[in-house]
Amino acid sequence: MKKTIHTELAPAAIGPYSQGSAFKELVFTSGQLPLDPKTMAFVEGGIKEQASQSLANLKAVLEESGASLCSVLKTTCFLSDMENFAEFNEVYTEVFGTEAAPARSCVEAARLPKDALVEVEAIAFIK
């Protein structure tokens, strides 16, 4: 049976979707924007700050489901501008490392919700 994931530690959905869904041992998160969950406003700063917040929101959703950043199998990362790729990777590497990093796709999107610089989604397993 499908389980809907919701936590107050990540931004509430801004549309007709959930923060994540779990089925058996798998968790699928919705894309996490760089919104502060308390204010629902973007964090101040540029790509590094937004990437850090998106990944913190992703972590909160994963942990609510019983998964963690260590159990992520695949991420999909959307950047508003591939010129931000190197700086995004710096933050991403701080979170996931390089040795056991999950599979990943990283693409430039013509436009992200609320004109974010980054959005990150993941597939993980529940430990």
Alpha carbons within 13 angstroms on the beta-carbon side of residue 23 total: 5
Residue tagged active-site, from 106, 109, 125, 126: 106
Torsion-angle region of 45 (φ positive above 0: left; ψ -120 to 50: alpha; else: beta): left
Give yes or no: 106 in active site. Answer: yes
Tokens of 81: 């501008």
Q: What letter would DSSP give residue 46?
A: S
Q: Point out the residues that are catalytic.
A: 106
